[in-house]
Structures are given as C-alpha cells and as structure tokens.
Amino acid sequence: MSKLQIESVSRVFAGVRGGPPTQALEKTDLIVEDNDFITILGPSGCGKSTLLRIVAALDQPSTGRVLLDGQPVLRPGPDRGMVFQSYTLFPWLTVRENICFGLREKGMPEAGQTGIAASYIEKVGLRGFENHYPKMLSGGMQQRTALARALANDPKILLLDEPFGALDNQTRALMQELLLGIWEADRKTVLFVTHDIDESIFMANRVAVMSARPGRIKCDARIELPHPRHYTMKTSPEFSRYKAQLTEEIRAEAVKAVQQMQG
C-alpha cells in the first residue's frame, strides 16, 4: 500500500471583498510510496505550498482527500512533521526544549525526551548549542533545529515547505547534504516543496513539476542518480541532462505565471 495518496485534491480560495474566487490548485493526484523523497517543483504562486498545507491539514481541500497509510487526513498531527520556510522555533525555548516540544505534547517522560533530543542534536550537528535560544542562532542553525524538532516526533512523512529558501547559497547547499544524509541513513518518506531546480534534482528520487496557477502536476520525473549522493554530482552530465529537461518544463510555466501577473 502507498504511504500517502493525494486524490483529486483541489483548492479554491474565496474572493477577497466580493472579488472572484481564486483557483489555487486544480484537481491533483499524487501517490507517494514508502521511503520516497519527492520534490514538488514549481514557479512561485503555483499552489505547491497549498498542496503541502493540505497534506498537513493546515488547510482544507475544496474537493478530494488525502490518505496517509490508508486513513483520511482530517486534522494536523505529529505523524506529518513539517518544516516551514519562515523561522518557526519557539523563541522562549532553547534548542533542546524546541526539539522536545512534540515529545512533551505526547506526554513522554523527561528522561526519554532528553535521550531522543540528544541523538537528533547530534544528527543535525548542533552539539554545544543545546541551551542556546533561537535568536542566538544563524538562519541555517535555526532550520537545523526545526528539522530536528520535526524528526524527533518520528513522523510517518516529513513535509518541507521551501525550508532552505531563506538561506544563503552555501548554507543551503550544506543543509541539502545534511538532509540527504539523514534520509539516506533513516529512509524517511519526504515531500519537499521548492522552486530551485538543482535542489529538486539533487534531493529527490522523484520530481513532480507543477504548472502555473491554477497548479496541477504536469510531469512526474524519476531521478535515477545513485546514492549516496555527493555534492560534486551537481556538475555531472546526468545531472545536467535532468536539469535541462526540468528547466524546459518549468520555464514554460514561469513564463505563464509572469504573463498571468501582467495580464
């Protein structure tokens, strides 16, 4: 059975102040298999974040449904861990307390929390920063904490909404390797939204390309690059071929998106 099924999910937003309603997402289907790392690639405003938010149940679909392990998804829950583009660490909690947040909500005893937190602090390379508050951390370190916080709950699927979008290029590349390393070791099921073509190829075993608004998945490309992947792969001929193919796909949509905004 598939891990996650997105069945003819669409989303229409009500018009603002009597204006016409906006179709953000056309009827979309996507099947995510266990241990898939799928990136959803699309131009800005194509509804890719809306799709992810519907999977998280932070937003409700206008039609269709989402099934996780065959069970319909109705409300947000710790089985779908999420990392947001904006910084969402709780500023009054330390790195360790942030990572323990979900475990505490579950009612896990403190000793158990500390053990799990320590292992994820290690995995995301934040040893020595356990007792720092978020405002003392760089953007990259904050997102590493957010990643550890989502992983500590051991979610069935990890949802990432352009998690590295606000980071500088070098930090972003390191974060990609970090996340990929964790995935290669633990084989989590991941749904990763991005507008960065390199990122979408480097991370994924499947890239779902979305069209301009109203969004739909126009192409589902399998990425047959071997694991473990090394950053030097980004300059290999195979990588370039994928990149050329996806660039064509996405460029047409980006052009449409710009025309929509002007028109």
Strands of the 22-32 sheet, one edge to the other = 22-32, 4-13, 63-68, 71-72
Rounded to the nearest whole angstrom, what is the least distance from the CB of residue 154 to another protein in the complex? Answer: 11
Q: What is the nearest approach in angstroms of another protein to the Cβ of residue 239?
A: 32
Whichever of 150 and 190 has its CB closer to another protein, that residue is 150
Distance of closest approach, residue 57 Cβ to another protein, in angstroms: 8
Question: Closest CB to another protein among 109 and 237?
Answer: 109
Backbone dihedral region for residue 175 (phi beyond 0: left; psi -120 to 50: alpha; all else: beta): alpha
Residue 151: how many CA atoms within 13 Å on its side-chain side? 23
Smallest gap from Cβ 152 to another protein, in A, equals 9
Write out the residues near another protein by the rule CB under 8 A: 56, 58, 75-78, 80-82, 84, 86, 88, 90-93, 101-102, 104-106, 146, 149-150, 153, 159
Distance CA 254, CA 121 (A): 38
Residue 81 or 214 with smaller CB distance to another protein:
81
Of 135 and 222, CB closest to another protein: 135
- Give the separation between CA 153 and CA 38, rounded to whole angstroms: 20
Least separation in angstroms between CB 81 and another protein:
6
Of 164 and 242, CB closest to another protein: 164
